[in-house]
Amino acid sequence: MYSPAEAIKLVKDTAFAKFDETVECHVRLGVDPRHADQVVRGATVLPHGTGREVRVVAFAQGEKAEEARQAGADEVGADELAEKIEGGWLDFDVAIATPDMMRVVGKLGRVLGPRGMMPNPKSGTVTDDIGNAVSETKAGKVEYRTDRQGNVHVPIGKVSFEEEKLLDNLLALMDTLQKARPPGAKGRYFLRITLASTMGPGVKVNPLEAVPGL
């Protein structure tokens, strides 16, 4: 296992693709996602973003719609936006909605649900503060959720990022996951941390050095 800084350097050194690969963090947590109270889910804003342009649609009306536009939402609407998506348009990465719009968004469960794009209060994508939510998402907000094996997969930047920026993003993510530890999780919480570029090998990180205050 390597220190966070050593692991990041190795990931950058072993990236060989001709495109700017994404650096991904894979964390195995000591939780049992079969129990609802042990599902680790949320979102955090990485200090230096993810390096990719995020396309955001916002379900809002009136003043809230204008807030979303001012914050940089790529598409804003209500029933007509829902109809467009039902018709097969999916040229976006994140959907955000005000609570009163969930009556409209609810119809899109079969389309957005399987893609993990359904707005949800736990991830901050159902909120009255829609302007701030759009701004944070465009700036590099990432969502995380344990899969069936208790793994979390989160992008923390691009291979072209400076090592210090990748390190800042990694430590910020680890701090967030530490704070999200469910009360029901017993024993070791961070079982394994691995970094990898899109096409590169996995590099194991020492959890004792990666998690503040562990």
DSSP string covering 104-142: HHGGGHHHHGGGT----GGGT-B-S-HHHHHHHHHHTEE
Longest dimension (CA), the chain: 53
| Coil, helix or strand at residue 46 | coil
Chain segment 51-61, per-residue pLDDT in tens: 988 899 999 99
Q: Confidence band (pLDDT; 50, 70, 90) for 20?
A: very high
The answer, yes or no, to whether residue 8 has pLDDT greater than 90, is: yes
Domains present along the chain, CATH in parentheses: 4-51+140-210 (3.30.190.20), 56-139 (3.40.50.790)
Q: Confidence band (pLDDT; 50, 70, 90) for 85?
A: very high
Name the nearest CA neighbour of 44 among 136, 129, 131: 136
Average pLDDT over residues 88-102: 94
Average pLDDT over residues 99-108: 94
The answer, yes or no, to whether residue 19 has pLDDT greater than 70, is: yes
Separation CA 21–CA 116 (nearest Å): 22
* Average confidence score pLDDT of the chain: 93
Q: Confidence band (pLDDT; 50, 70, 90) for 140?
A: confident
Q: Confidence band (pLDDT; 50, 70, 90) for 185?
A: confident
Axis-axis angle for helices 163-179, 4-14 (nearest 10): 130
Residue 76: which H helix or E strand, with range?
strand 75-77
